[in-house]
Amino acid sequence: MYLLLAAQSIDLGPVQPLLFYGLALLLAISAWSVVLSDNIVRMAVFLLLALGAVGGLYFMLAAEFLAAVQLIVYAGGTLILIVFGVMLTSKNPFLQFRVKLWERMVALALALTICGFLIFALVNTPLDGNGPLAPEAEYEQVQEIGKSLLSTYLVPFEVAAVLLLVVMIGAAYMARRRAQ
Amino acid sequence: MFEIGIMHFVVLSVVVFAAGICTLLTKRNAIGILIGIELIMNAAGINFVAYNRYVWGGGEAGSLIDGQIFTIFIIVLAAAEAAIALAIFLNFYNTFSSIDVERADEMKG
């Protein structure tokens, strides 16, 4: 399905709304299922669905490289890490924590308030932009990303590299078995 | 309505962001809170890529894909943050035999 999307990202034509609403529905339903689910394993599975849907949206937005990165790093890496975390931190993977009803209500009210204000602000903001950028026709995407990572964004790129090294050493140090 | 524009993507990302906030506030399992943060970061990523597609910059080199570069950094930071957070949770679990955030109320384990 993703390959089909990538091939058609130049001109999706009449299927574009169908694809968008399908992916949007999948994303919204799985994101809110994460909220409503009490079981940590189910939450991880719904997160996987949501991440896959976001990858599909990136394909629709003509960002093929980013969609591949999303699927490989997020769905393939971060999610596996989370599932390992679940397995290592509970004797019973179906362990549930009870949340009080009023806490749920307060959180839901806060989320809906934020949602309402943001959508209100967005509706009242002209967001015309300059129309969709023609993908592929004007530039080679991966080539452009590589070039700007090593020129305009060289400093953040190197900082990210150092950050990953620090995180790797720090995580290995913190998660090691302690001497009794 | 049937022409997909930037507004559709931005509203969708607001919905995902609200779901992330709600997850962050209602879960008592520390890993559940981490999942909420991942949802929020994905909402930010959708915004960046949508703006990159519809409100792109001028024609000079590099400015056509700025939003995508920012999203790459978001993904890198999310991976780093997940690794560190899980190492902390593992330590917490070894100390308290639980990952209920309600019990994380003292600095020295």
Residue A28 confidence (pLDDT)? 95
Write the DSSP assignment of A139-155 as a string of letters. Answer: --HHHHHHHHHTTTTHH
**What mean pLDDT comes out for the span A57-83?**
90
In this structure, are residues B53 and A132 in contact, taking their beta carbons and an 8 Å threshold? yes
More confident residue, A10 or A48: A48
Which of A:115-174 have CB within 8 Å of B?
115, 118-119, 122, 127, 129-133, 138-139, 141, 144-145, 147-149, 151-153, 156, 160, 163-164, 167-168, 170-172, 174
Which of A:37-96 have CB within 8 Å of B?
40, 43-44, 47, 50-51, 54, 57-58, 60-63, 65-66, 69-70, 73-74, 77-78, 81-82, 84-86, 88-90, 95
In this structure, are residues A26 and A49 in contact, taking their beta carbons and an 8 Å threshold? yes
Class of domain A2-94 as given by CATH: mainly alpha
Predicted complex ipTM: 0.89
* Chain B residues touching A114 at Cβ < 8 A: 17-18, 21
pLDDT, chain B, mean: 85
* Chain A residues touching B46 at Cβ < 8 A: 54, 57
Domains and CATH numbers, chain B: 6-97 (1.10.287.3510)
* pLDDT one-digit tens code per residue, B55-85: 766 555 546 788 889 999 999 999 999 999 9
Structure tokens at B8: 């559709």
Structure tokens at A128: 């015309």
* Chain B residues touching A97 at Cβ < 8 A: 27-29, 100
Residue A128 confidence (pLDDT)? 64
Q: How far is CA B40 from CA A59, A89, A95, B11, B47, in A?
A: 20, 23, 25, 14, 11
The distance from CA B81 to its chain's CA centroid, rounded to whole angstroms, is 10
Q: How far is B105 from chain A (nearest CA, A)?
A: 17
Q: How far is B33 from chain A (nearest CA, A)?
A: 10
Going by pLDDT thresholds of 50, 70 and 90, the confidence category of residue A9 is: very low
Q: Flag whether pLDDT at A23 surpasses 50.
A: yes
Q: Output the pTM of the full model.
A: 0.87
* pLDDT one-digit tens code per residue, B5-17: 888 899 999 999 9
Write the DSSP assignment of A82-126 as a string of letters. Answer: HHHHHHHT-SSTT------HHHHHHHHHHHHHHHHHHHHHHHTS-
Residue A2 confidence (pLDDT)? 46
